[in-house]
Amino acid sequence: MNNPQSESDAFRAVFLEYYPGVRRKLIAMVKDEATAEDLAQEVFLRLYRNPPDDPRVIGAWLHRVLTRIAYDHTDHLVRQRKLQEKQQQYFDRERSGENGEDALVRSEERQQVTELLEELPERDRQVLMLRYSGYSYAEIAEEIAVNPPRVGSLLSRAVDKLRRRAENKPNGLEW
């Protein structure tokens, strides 16, 4: 039977030995000390939850995990920046060159689309919102926890449902 105290002591020893190096490598990768410390905690949380079978490979295991976590963090930041840029471009287009009547029509159309979206099932609404917010199929698949090849058919069905609802509404949107 495993002794919880000895496991805790062993983890503490590994943490004290490897934490400074893990933290230093993460700072070099993400260029932000506070973020690096948060990511280092994630690395050691993963070690605690799912340690390697062979204690002799802990150093390599930690390096592999910290690298993956740093890359995932960087990818997340890139996706966020791209989404913000797309949103800014959208808002810039909204503000430029639109007279009062065009703005009113656009506002009414946006309200109708919002009402139609609210009538859709949650998953359909979510997949449409993600796609039209600039997410890629892979990002959508990750967000809604499905296999990436399914995203296209989910989007197609959601658009069809939205289109049918719009066509059945009096004074509905034209597709």
Please work out, in degrees rounded to the nearest 5, the angle formed at the alpha carbon of residue 1 by the alpha carbons of 48 and 5.
Answer: 50
* Mean pLDDT calculated for residue range 154-170: 84
Q: What's the confidence (pLDDT) of residue 148?
A: 86
DSSP 3: -
Whether residue 121 has pLDDT greater than 90? no
Q: How far apart are CA 81 and CA 77, in angstroms?
A: 6
The least confident of 23-27, 68-72, 131-135 is 131-135
- Is pLDDT larger for residue 47 or for residue 6? 47
CATH 1.20.1250.20 fits 100-168, yes or no: no
Judged against a pLDDT cut of 70, whether residue 31 lies above it is answered with yes
pLDDT digits 0-9 by tens, 77-114: 888 888 888 778 777 766 665 566 666 677 777 777 77
CATH 1.10.1740 residue ranges of the chain are: 4-78
Q: Which residue has the tokens 């062993």?
A: 10
Does 120 have pLDDT greater than 90?
A: no
Residues of the chain with CATH 1.10.10.10: 100-168
Integer CA distances (angstroms), 87 to 92, 132, 152, in order = 9, 10, 23
Taking the CA atoms of 71, 76, 77 and 78 in sequence, report the sign of the dihedral they define. Answer: positive
pLDDT at 71 over 90: yes
Integer angstrom CA distances of residue 142 from 86, 94, 106 = 20, 30, 32
Residue 1: the pLDDT is 44
CB within 8 A of 36, min separation 6: which ones?
Answer: 23, 26, 27, 29, 30
Tokens of 12: 């503490």
Tell me what the mean pLDDT of segment 116-142 comes to. 84
4-78: in CATH 1.10.1060: no
What whole-number distance in Å separates Cα of residue 166 and Cα of residue 175? 8
Q: Which residue has the higher pLDDT, 90 or 25?
A: 25
Q: Give the pLDDT of residue 83.
A: 82
Check the CA dihedral 151-153-159-162 and report its sign. Answer: negative
The Cα 39–Cα 43 span in angstroms is 6
